[in-house]
Amino acid sequence: MEKSKSKKLSVAFESDMRYVADWKIARGRRSGREQAGAKSGSRGKLGEFAAIATVPLVLVFGNSMLIPVLPQMQSALNISQFQTSLVITLFSVTAAVCIPVLGYLSDHFSRKAIMIPCLIVYGAAGVLAGFGAIWDSYGVLIAARALQGIGAAGTAPIAMALVGDMYNGGTESKALGLTEASNGTGKVLSPIIGSVLALIVWYAAFFAFPAFCLLSLLAVMFLIREPKRESRPPSLKQYLKNIGNILRAKGRWLVSSFVAGSLALFVLFGVLFYLSDILEKAPYRIDGVVKGLVLAIPLMAMVTTSYITGSVIKKNGVLIRRLMLAGLVLSTAAYMLTIFFSRNIYLFVGLLTAGSLGTGLLLPCLNTMITGSVSKGERGMITSLYSSLRFFGVAFGPPIFSWLAGWSKTNDSAVFVTVSALSALSLVLAFFFIKPDKRLQSG
């Protein structure tokens, strides 16, 4: 009996050990698969982030690479400063007009179905603009820039809506901060790249640009997996009705946000255009690659701030409001001081850097609020309306700043009084009308 019991216990014990060992092995295998899946998912998300980041980068290259070479373009084509500014303006106006249409189409079909052909048009039109420069044909160049604007309309604005489709919560805010940082990175790199390319020939940027488009096109095609639509898109009539309902319910703060974002880009591009022109004149006498580096300094502040802001705000409405107001106060104060210190190059660039830092605090906050304000079905149109107004800001910055510089006898006061007033207007709008909930909800 004792033997029998002993054997029983022995068998029972051995069986339990085997079960435990088998369970541990199975758990280890499952844990290994989960870790591998997590790593794979992490790699996939990094690939998606990188692909999304290329789109605003390419968008900015199409405009900002030309800013350092605008004085050379004016001389080579024998055109006026106003005609030169239209190279930026017409591109942006065309984009602004087309963005809402392409936003609707991206809601009706898919984001990638719009982004891919638009990237192709964007790059091809850049080549045409380059040939226009070779032929000394301002007409061909300006027509190609308008065509580029159509392509540009289906890039970054649609990418912003795509981010809202793909991510939620803090990941969405981080991705939106990354898109704004990528936009800013393009603004930092593009004047430097444009200045370096101009050492070859002033229109080299037109031919270099399609290579960047191709890289972005391949990234969007192969690295981004757009989520499937949960329901069929509404008819155009119902769609417009839904947009009208959104604007009636949230129009007060949405429109204020649209205006604040537009004014921020108006000021940024206007100041860049103005700075590119005056740096080559007395008392500065700065040109070439050095000028590109000087133009990049304020933009680097905006890039860094945009990424950090997008990473920390998540859906915290209280923090969003505080950072937004702090950014606008900083920009307004910095631009007011430039009225008095614009002749000192170190103080001048330092104050412009402080103003750009304020813009870096503002834009990611606006992006997060706007993309999270509506459901996925209407997100394309709402973000497109916002992007359209931003493009109008970019469009009218250069010609208006050109006019202000010519009108002002000192070439300083009128420009920066205007900039300060516009920053103060954005601050007033944000303070009284943009009041997000303590915790934002994803659409």
pLDDT of residue 11: 34
Phi (first) and psi of residue 316, to 5 degrees = -80, 100
Number of H helices, E strands in the chain: 14, 0
pLDDT of residue 136: 92
CB-side neighbour CA atoms (13 Å) of 197: 22
pLDDT of residue 183: 76
pLDDT of residue 324: 94
pLDDT of residue 7: 42
Contact criterion met (CB below 8 Å) for 220 and 212:
no
Q: Which residue has the tokens 């937004």?
A: 324
Helices 236-278 and 70-77, axial angle in degrees (round to 10) = 80
Contact criterion met (CB below 8 Å) for 94 and 146:
yes
SS3 139: helix
Q: How far is CA 17 from the centre of its chain?
A: 59
SS3 439: strand
DSSP string, 43-54: HHHHHHHHHHHH
Helices (H), 199-235: 204-223
DSSP string, 310-371: HHHHTTBHHHHHHHHHHHHHHHHHHHHHHHHHTTSHHHHHHHHHHHHHHHHHHHHHHHHHHH
pLDDT of residue 17: 37
Fold of 47-433: Growth Hormone; Chain: A; (1.20.1250)
Annotated domain spans of the chain: 47-433
pLDDT of residue 1: 46
Extract the residue ranges of the chain whose pLDDT is less than 70.
1-44, 169, 230-231, 233, 373-380, 408-412, 439-443
The torsion region of residue 437 among left (phi > 0), alpha (psi -120 to 50) and beta comes to beta
pLDDT of residue 441: 57
The CA distance from 219 to 229, in Å, is: 22
Q: 57-95: string of b/e by CB count within 10 Å (b at 16+)?
A: bbbbbbbbbbbbbbbbbbeebebebeebbbbbbbbbbbb
Q: In sequence order, what are the beta bridge partners of 316?
A: 439
The CA distance from 275 to 195, in Å, is: 14
Contact criterion met (CB below 8 Å) for 153 and 98:
yes
